Amino acid sequence: MENKQAPVITIDGPAGSGKGTIAALLAKQLGWFLLDSGAIYRVAAHAALEAKLDLEDETALVNLIQSLAMRFTDGKVWRNHQEVSLAIRTPVVADATSRISTLPAVRAALIDQQRAFRQAPGLVADGRDMGTVVFPDAKLKVFLTASPEIRAQRRLKQLSEQGIYANIAALIREIKERDERDSNRPIAPLRPADDALIIDSSQLSPEEVLSLILQSY
């Protein structure tokens, strides 16, 4: 159950901006809980693909989501007792995630699960609409960005480390297409909160980004 008294720091931004890395570092530094909201959407998308659902069928997707038990322990992601940490990180799942996340019923079905992560001593929430929709009362809201080329290079490195082949040109194209889709969706579009601290991480190390956030906290 959500503890509305527990402080929250939100870190939003597009894929490859470094928000996941920064959120994990910040949560460890503060000793707070961590919410990777993108992983929640990815788990749902992965389950939908496995079930061969129509990714535009909101009723079927919501019914599926309500049957899912998700948990995150020791850096691993579990769905109904199945570890899916690597399975949810493929480009196919990323594309499916972007598609289902535009559906209002899907977002509504997942929002309570995200808010349930809010508990003492505090929460660092990483996503795309954490500061604008899920935790609008957050103590500090951060919006990370970086150029599509830098983000594609980071994604290529991440996939390579997982043994997954990818083409840099295709990654840049996919990132731009996803940015366009996420920024223009009618429900919870990707954008900074009005009071967000905006940081371009293109030429910054994770430690430098973390320092900027801690200075603002």
Are both 16 and 98 inside the same structural domain? Answer: no
Q: What is the CATH number of the domain that holds 142?
A: 3.40.50.300
Blockwise average pLDDT, block size 10, the chain, 217 residues: 84 91 93 91 96 96 92 83 91 90 90 88 94 95 95 89 87 90 81 95 94 93
Confirm whether residue 19 is marked as ligand binding: yes
Position 63 scores a pLDDT of: 95
Position 41 scores a pLDDT of: 93
Confirm whether residue 59 is marked as ligand binding: no
Are both 195 and 133 inside the same structural domain? Answer: yes
Residue that is last in its domain, among 119, 149, 173: 119
Q: Is residue 1 part of a domain?
A: no
Domain that holds residue 166: 7-32+121-216
Give yes or no for a contact between 12 and 130, defined as CB atoms under 8 angstroms apart.
yes
Position 1 scores a pLDDT of: 59
Q: Is residue 58 part of a domain?
A: yes
Position 189 scores a pLDDT of: 83
Pick from 3, 83, 22: which is nearest to 214 by CA?
22
Confirm whether residue 13 is marked as ligand binding: yes
Give yes or no for a contact between 116 and 1, defined as CB atoms under 8 angstroms apart.
yes
Confirm whether residue 16 is marked as ligand binding: yes
Number of domains in the chain: 2
Confirm whether residue 21 is marked as ligand binding: yes
**DSSP-derived pairing of the beta strands 140-145 and 8-12:** parallel
Residue that is last in its domain, among 119, 137, 155: 119
Confirm whether residue 131 is marked as ligand binding: no
78 strand-pairing partners = 71, 83
Confirm whether residue 31 is marked as ligand binding: no
Confirm whether residue 14 is marked as ligand binding: yes
Helices (H), ranges, 67-193: 91-100, 104-115, 148-161, 168-184
| Entry pTM | 0.82
Position 192 scores a pLDDT of: 93
